[in-house]
Structure 1
Amino acid sequence: MAQVDLVNRDPNNINPHLQCQFEDVLAEPDGAHSIDCVWKLSNTCFNCWKGLCYKLMTLLCGICIAGEWGCQFAYTAFVHVWYFTPCLKLFQINCGLCKNVYTQCVNCCIEPCCVACGAVFHHFKK
């Protein structure tokens, strides 16, 4: 099992859309600035509550949710290995048989007519 990276927790960049820093959520345009201490305290409160709530939710729910997702992906892998892939192989085998039957029918029934017509038109010259 690979070692867990505690610094870069999104190495495959799965959640680039999830921007939830203070600067990504709150912004005061020019001409509408609050008092500097309000802005600084708002930043501190936002980051404190966001961090506290996120850590509390992950502590209470994260392990169970991760376990559920592990079961879901195990089930998906199981169904693909033991059901979908064999069904696809069976489908490929049956389609191969149908292709052979179709080819034989064309060769026996249609090809002689096409060859005869080709022979008739072959004799026409400019």
Structure 2
Amino acid sequence: MDARVSGVRVEAVEYFQESGTVRTQFDQEKTPASMAVTATLADLIGTDPVELDPLHSTVDPDELDALVRVRNGTNGDIHVTFTHESHAITVHSYGVITITPEHELTAEKHERIAGR
């Protein structure tokens, strides 16, 4: 099943309303990781991708694309996690992006500490 986020074609998009997290699966052969991140984040925030701070202000888009290019199964998962536009973003080499608002991560951390 193909979907679109901010005009970029992806394979699947899942929204988790409780946490505000979005998970996008993209085809690394057709869509660079940096483009998929920008489109997914813009869609999550509800803005045009050109309105976001440039991705290169946080991470080198070319390096991100190179790191998560299609890999064979013997290399395992390589992933990158960074923060951009107040969201924690993890990009996996198998073509999955997870984006979570920072305030949700902080709340989860405090709940775990309080629950000890």
Q: Which band: TM-score by shorter chain?
A: under 0.3
More helix by share: 1
Query: Which gives a bigger RCO, structure 1 or 2 (Cα 8 Å, sep 6+)?
Result: 2
TM-score, normalised relative to structure 2: 0.25
